[in-house]
Amino acid sequence: MFTVSGVMAEKEEQLYAKVTPRRQRQNRAGTLKHGSSLDVLLSMGFPKTRALKALVSTGGRNVQAACDWLFSHVDDPFLDDPLPREFVLYLRPSGPLLHQLSQFWQQSRVMCGKNKAHNIFPHITLCQFFMCTDAKAEALCEALQTVVGQWRGRFPSPLPLELYISSNFIGLFVDEKVAEVLKSFAADFATEATAKADVHVEPHKKQLHVTLAYHFPTNHLASLEKLARGVDVSLGCDWLAVLFSRDIRFANHETLRVMYPYTPQNEDELELVPGDFIFMSPVEQGSASEGWVYGTSLGTGLSGLLPENYVNRADECDTWVLHGSHSFLNCTSPTVSIGAVGGLFFDGQLDRRLLDDQSSVEQHPLSVIGHPMQMLQTNSQSRLPKRTLFVCRHGERMDVVFGKHWITQCFDAKGRYVRSNLNMPGSLPARSGGYREYDKDCPITVFGATQARLVGEALFESHTVIDFVYCSPSLRCVQTAHNILRGLQQDGKTKIRVEPGLFEWTKWVSGSSLPAWIPPTELAAANLVVDTTYRPHIPISKLTVSESYDTYITRSFQVTREILAECKALGNTVLIVAHASSLEACTRQMQGLSPQNAKDFVQVVRKIPYLGFCACEEMGETGVWQLVDPPILPLTHGPNHSFNWRETLLQD
């Protein structure tokens, strides 16, 4: 990965001067519009064509993602190529139906191997691929958001689907009358896209359907049919209008995923970074010579020879960029940008682990079309306050900043604490088992407390009210929750419920025992706003050392469901403050998604920073939960290394 050069440092003051006054120009989802992001990139000296290309190539998420893309593509020979990108509009399901379809996807792949349907996540195609220039991409996204807003309350729900099976195709077809309604929506989008972005969109004219399998060996038909008949299309679903783009140059290329790093030995070879993707043309697919192939890197735009056994086949959509995901139930219709599976671009590329989709819906009469009263009822429900779940990681921890030996540096033989750095807290809660218990249950730093307070203040400024706060028993989580409530100005109104079931995967705990956590009564005595009357859903006695991954995931899902059930009808907003792993473990199955394998899970967790924050909303009365943009901006900061003025300034 490339690092930001001196250009960033030279323009830093200009950057903050540009960004700060534009806070009022944020959209409702809390992200900066392309216009302001583009202004920042231009102020940093990037040519407009390059800045636009970077924003579009990363889904228009933020300035930092665009900068990372530009610096990694500094030697890309096509960096100034004015070619447009190809866009497509799909409908994709979410919630319980998505869970069913994801299971079908996984089981069919395991039992029968990959077929053509696996190249793209489950979807209903609403239009053909069409071209749009980088300069018009933002207008295109606005066109989709406008049309989805116009169709709320008119969108057919549920979508009647019928299973169709032939010798080489299995799919779910939309009822013809309903399909005509969906085509009208696509036509409206085409009209709006032409008016706002000057593009030509051709709505899909064939029968609308979700492809489950095709181009598979005949001997797999029976197994695939059995799996397909097990998909319950009557399950709840919120259909999302999603807009994707891809690089037009690689539309017909084979997509490969880099598995192992490789350093070039010759000038014509390509450097490989695990997680990157490689595009290989159809001509090059059959021309591998002695285990070497020729391809182009998604991460850098460079081309060259690479060892064939360092890459694996990937799916076509793994490299697509998501530009918008809009719910027909959600009034705010957040636009979601999601990162790449491989980990190079987390602000634009499609992550299939988060977007395993497919279409569906109940096979009932067309009640939505035939009965206007039902549409009115759906409208009124959509205006009710939504149930929201926030999940947040704790703040900066002492042992990571100052090392495992901070305890011996700060406590004397009598157990008295004296800080040796301004970022160490001025005092620490007393522990009945002695200060050595801090070894497995460390506090947060002063800056960690500041991070948490900043998040609370941002929530306060967004007029967010937290009804219930739950947190892991780890001291760093309790302190973080306390400081978030301080920033929210709710520290005297809302008490923290300490829930052991929210503790991280116990396999990550060193030694043969769990931490000796401070009891809630002692936390309250240390002036932390803890609810001492709360009875946990999963008591400490139920936690085991070195639990399996499946046990941890099941535990997190169980306790999250029970927390939300406990709070239902008593409040709309729940905040969970726990660990980096909690953002994934507490929300994934709530969306109806299957758990990831342990390896992919760990890769996601490694990328979640201190005070990493996510939001999940319940979609109407469907029981479906969906990740949405949080009401606050992300928190980013740079490292500040230890400074000793004697060693640095008193040199001979």
Read off the CATH number of the domain in which 196 is found. Answer: 3.90.1140.10
Residue 419 in any domain: the answer is no
Residue 403's alpha-carbon distances to 62, 251, 398, 443, in angstroms, are 33, 49, 7, 13
Q: Distances from the Cα of 386 to the Cαs of 493, 555, 574, in angstroms?
A: 22, 25, 11
Last residue of a domain, one of 272, 295, 316: 316
641 catalytic residue (yes or no): no
| Domain identity same for 235 and 274 | no
Q: What is the DSSP letter of 250?
A: G
91 shares its domain with 116: yes
> How high is the pLDDT of residue 652?
58
Residues 452, 454, 458, 463: what is their CA dihedral angle, to the nearest 10 degrees? Answer: 70
Q: What CATH number does residue 303 fall under? A: 2.30.30.40
CA 13/CA 364 separation, integer angstroms? 60
* Domain presence at residue 1: no
Residue 23 CB neighbours (<10 A): 12
- In the chain, the amino acid numbered 503 is F
Residue 252's Cβ-side half-sphere holds a number of Cα atoms within 13 Å equal to 4
In 10 A of CB 638, how many CB atoms? 5
In a domain, 214, yes or no: yes
Residue 358: the pLDDT is 33
C-alpha 221/C-alpha 169 separation (Å) is: 9
Q: What pLDDT is attached to residue 334?
A: 43
Cα distances from 530 to residues 1, 32, 493, 501, in angstroms, run 43, 36, 11, 16
546, burial (CB in 10 Å: exposed 0-12, middle 13-18, buried 19+):
exposed
Q: How would you list the strands of the sheet with 277-280, edge to edge? A: 303-307, 292-297, 277-280, 254-258, 311-313
Q: Tell me, yes or no, whether 236 and 271 share the same domain.
A: no
| Domain extent at residue 58 | 38-73
Q: Which of 393, 453, 497, 555 is catalytic?
A: 393
Based on the residue annotation, tell me whether 99 is a catalytic residue of this protein. Answer: no
Does residue 289 share a domain with residue 162? Answer: no
Q: Tokens in use for 54?
A: 């970077």
Write down the pLDDT at residue 180.
93
Residue 260 lies in a domain: yes
236 located within any domain: yes
Element (H, E) at 221: helix 221-229
Tell whether 165 and 125 lie within a shared domain: yes
Residue 86 pairs with which residues in a beta bridge? 131, 246
Q: Residues 181-187: contacts with CB within 8 Å, 24+ apart?
A: 181/155, 181/156, 181/369, 182/91, 182/124, 182/126, 182/156, 182/208, 183/126, 183/208, 185/126, 185/147, 185/151, 185/155, 185/241, 186/89, 186/126, 186/127
Choice among 387, 431, 537, 579 that is catalytic: 579
Residue 170, φ and ψ in degrees, nearest 5: -135, 130
Q: Cis peptide before 500, with omega less than 30 degrees from 0?
A: no
In a domain, 496, yes or no: yes
Same domain, 213 and 239: yes
472 with 609, same domain? yes
CA 408: distance to chain centroid? 39
Per the structure block, which two tokens stand in for 625? Answer: 């939960």
Q: Take residue 604 and report the two structure tokens written for it.
A: 């996601």
Q: What is the pLDDT of residue 289?
A: 62
Q: What span, in angstroms and rounded, lies between the C-alpha atoms of 544 and 475?
A: 19
What is the C-alpha separation between 4 and 477, in angstroms, rounded?
32
Residues 204, 353, 394, 397: which is the catalytic one?
394
Please check whether residue 476 lies inside any domain of the structure. yes
- 240 and 255 part of one domain: no
Q: Are 162 and 296 part of one and the same domain?
A: no
393 is catalytic: yes
Structure tokens at 513: 């025992």
Which residues, 6 or more positions from 534, have their beta carbon under 8 angstroms from its beta carbon? 495, 497, 498, 499, 520
Examine the domain organization and report whether 181 and 303 are in the same domain. Answer: no
Across-strand partners of 172? 163, 210
CA distance 239 to 51: 33
Angstrom CA distances, 567 to 164, 249, 469, 582, stand at 42, 51, 10, 19
Say whether 342 sits in a helix, a strand or coil: coil
How much is the pTM?
Answer: 0.53
What is the pLDDT at residue 539? 95
Phi, psi of 613 (to 5 degrees): -135, 130
Around Cβ 180, how many Cβ atoms within 10 Å? Answer: 13
User: Can you read off the two tokens belonging to residue 61?
Assistant: 């998420």
In which residue ranges of the chain is pLDDT below 70?
A: 1-35, 284-289, 330-385, 620-623, 651-652
392 and 459 assigned to the same domain: yes
Domain boundary pick from 226, 246, 266: 246
**Does a structural domain hold residue 349?**
no
119 and 227 fall within a common domain: yes
Q: How far apart are CA 163 and CA 213, in angstroms?
A: 12
Question: Strand 240-247 to strand 254-258: parallel, antiparallel, or no bridges (unpaired)?
Answer: unpaired
Q: How many domains does the chain contain in total?
A: 4
Which of residues 23, 50, 73 is at a domain's end?
A: 73
